[in-house]
Amino acid sequence: MPLRTAATRLGVLAAGGALAALSLTAPAAAADTADGKAPVYKGRVIAKSGLLLRNAPHRGSRVIRSVPYGKVVTIFCKTRGDRVGNNSLWYLLTDGTWAWGSAHYIANIGKVPRWC
């Protein structure tokens, strides 16, 4: 278990670093693809009671806000975190605030998000 905790913390730190780099180099990040546009990943919330978004990819982390069932969300990247159901992936969402949502409750629309 300590290894998983350390790996999760490293994932969170990496995502935080990615967010900091993105905020400082947004124009450069937009040139990541051949057409000059940053990749866009989408998903639909499939949790019947809505999805709680958190400040870290852990079930016990602070809830920032919630997203209703059926809402389409924008996903920045994915990382491993606490297991929810049979899925340990969490998505970093970029709709309004940067927040983590369990991939167990988000159905991908199109391409699978990149790793953080």
Q: What DSSP letter does each residue of 8-74 carry, written as one string?
A: HHHHHHHHHHHHHHHHHSHHHHTTSSTTS----EEEEE--TT-EEEESSSSTTSPEEEEE-TT-EEE
Cβ pair 100, 78 in contact under 8 A: no
Asked if residues 15 and 94 have their Cβ atoms less than 8 Å apart, the reply is no
- pLDDT for the residue 63: 98
Under a CB-based contact definition with an 8 Å cutoff, are residues 74 and 106 in contact?
no
The Cα–Cα gap between 36 and 86 comes to 36
Mean pLDDT by 10 residues, the chain (116 residues): 49 48 38 64 98 97 97 97 97 93 98 96
pLDDT of residue 36: 63
Distance CA 16, CA 12 (A): 6
Total-model pTM:
0.71
Q: Which amino acid is at 41?
A: Y
